[in-house]
Amino acid sequence: MTNFTYSAAALDRLKANDSDVFKALMQEEVRQSEGIELIPSENYCFPEVYALLGSVFNNKYSEGYPGRRYYGGQENTDIIENLARDRAKSLFRAEYANVQPLGGSAMNQAIYFGLLQPGDTILAMDLSHGGHLTHGAPVSHMSKVFNFVRYKSEVPTGNIDLAKVRALALEHKPKMIICGFSSYPRELDYAGFKKIADEVGALTFADVSHIGGLIAGGALANPMDFGFDVMSTTTHKSLRGPRGGMILAKKQYGQALDKSVFPGLQGGPHMHQVAAVATTLKLAAEEPFKKYARDVIANAKTLAQTLLQQGAELVTGGTDNHMMVVNTINSFNINGTVAEHVLDAAGITLNKQMVPDDPNPPLKPSGIRLGTPAATARGMGENEMKLLGNIMVRALRSHEDTVALEKLRDETRAICSRFPVPGVSNDGKSHSSAAA
Ligand SMILES: Cc1ncc(COP(=O)(O)O)c(C=O)c1O
């Protein structure tokens, strides 16, 4: 059998022909193995995904859709794209799926342009309260094309007051209402949002990029079950697939959305990514993934509890999903940027984060955001969450003590060494270690 994939032979060539990139690849594998990844939007993909991303599907141009492409030679790409679309529809109980968006931002742009007109009003969650840049943050191009109005969560509970959302909807008459977030640790009331949207004649759009895997695994509610018109998810976060985006919708929007993705916004789809999405969706429908989704949330609750017990202040006081936001200024008297660096030194990777109505700027915000999808993919459980939570708090308290941070890094490494990264061997070498 021929094998042009991410193989030892291909890596041997890389090592011989570009030692600089090869070295960075090896270092990155070590970094991902030795430290703990708590950025809630990151994950370790299924090992099968590496095989497809490094496969000959990378070579193929497939503009168009299965059965109506602009290039020949599509007998295998049609198979994988049909599989991916059918699996997506079945897993998320949707009538329509498009698996071509190259990423999460592209998928959301395709939805706006496919279903709305420039200048239309969209009601979405405020950025500092957890919304995403693509939901109309002033720095995004989308905010120049559409008129975004923002709803907020209540401080400090984090609840979304639907009476206030309704009042905004009645005042601004949005054409679309978005339920979705990149930094909000609670479940949203999809039925409540849908009722408001119906009252004002708005489309309902759920961007479940962060929690797509948890919905697929049955651990969180699925907006499509509440009659939402359209839903988007990235495929590389809790879903454990390749980097990419996916759109699900009611059938009646299918034609407009297909046209909006291609030729409206994109050219050729990345068929190696589409193939990897197909396999990801098969794996995400199986029993072990359901357990994984439940474990991600159980781990997040344990980690949140550990941090609370040690005196940390969490935005909304806890979590219902995979992530949490810690107000590091109130808890440890350091901003999120300092906290991010301190924890990096202790072998813990997470990101600085704004808190609701943050008085501080985005590059020096008041908090950090962390989550459990990647740690859970390594097989870590509640015991490890308690250990890691304790290391975090000790590191943040001794943030000026480099010797203490070095010791804490050793503790993190010791925990991580017991939980190999899927697809990467425990010695920090790799599925590519044959060439290292
Ligand atoms: C809610 C949400 N939507 C969209 C995106 C954009 O995804 P991408 O980074 O693939 O463009 C993200 C990424 O963090 C997200 O959290």
Task: Assess whether the C-beta atom of 237 lies below 6 angstroms from ligand 1.
Answer: no
Predicted TM-score (pTM) of the model is: 0.95
pLDDT on residue 423: 86
Q: Return the residue whose CA atom lies nearest to atom 7 of ligand 1.
A: 104
pLDDT on residue 233: 98
For residue 310, the cross-strand partners are none
Atom of ligand 1 at shortest distance to CA of 105?
Answer: 11
Q: How far apart are CA 303 and CA 74, in angstroms?
A: 47
Q: How far apart are CA 352 and CA 397, in angstroms?
A: 17
CA 399 to chain centre: 29
pLDDT on residue 8: 79
Q: How far apart are CA 4 and CA 56, in angstroms?
A: 7
pLDDT on residue 435: 37
- Which phi-psi region, left, alpha or beta, contains residue 311 (left: φ > 0; alpha: ψ -120 to 50)? left
- Domain segments of the chain: what residues? 56-284, 295-417
Q: Return the residue whose CA atom lies nearest to atom 4 of ligand 1.
A: 104
Task: Assess whether the C-beta atom of 109 lies below 6 angstroms from ligand 1.
Answer: no
Task: Assess whether the C-beta atom of 135 lies below 6 angstroms from ligand 1.
Answer: no
Ligand 1 mutation pick, 126, 127, 182, 230, max ligand atoms within 8 A of CB? 182
Give 10-residue mean pLDDT values along the chain (436 residues): 59 94 94 94 96 94 98 98 98 98 98 98 95 93 96 92 98 98 96 98 98 98 98 98 98 98 98 98 98 98 98 96 98 97 97 95 96 98 98 95 96 96 64 39
Task: Assess whether the C-beta atom of 180 lies below 6 angstroms from ligand 1.
Answer: yes
Q: Return the residue whose CA atom lies nearest to atom 10 of ligand 1.
A: 104
389 alpha carbon – ligand 1 mean position (Å): 26
236 alpha carbon – ligand 1 mean position (Å): 10
Q: How far apart are CA 320 and CA 83, in angstroms?
A: 32
Task: Assess whether the C-beta atom of 371 lies below 6 angstroms from ligand 1.
Answer: no
Q: How far apart are CA 322 and CA 387, in angstroms?
A: 18
pLDDT on residue 6: 53
Residue with tokens 């209540």: 154
Atom of ligand 1 at shortest distance to CA of 104?
Answer: 7
- At position 381, the amino acid (one-letter code) is G
- Would 56-284 and 295-417 be classified into the same CATH topology? no
Q: Active-site positions?
A: 61, 63, 207, 234, 237, 243
Coil, strand or helix: which one is 282?
helix
- Of 84, 97, 89, nearest to 247 by C-alpha is 97
Strands 147-151 and 64-65: unpaired
pLDDT on residue 429: 46
CATH of domain 295-417: 3.90.1150.10
Burial (CB < 10 A; 0-12, 13-18, 19+), residue 61, is middle
Atom of ligand 1 at shortest distance to CA of 244?
Answer: 10
CATH of domain 56-284: 3.40.640.10
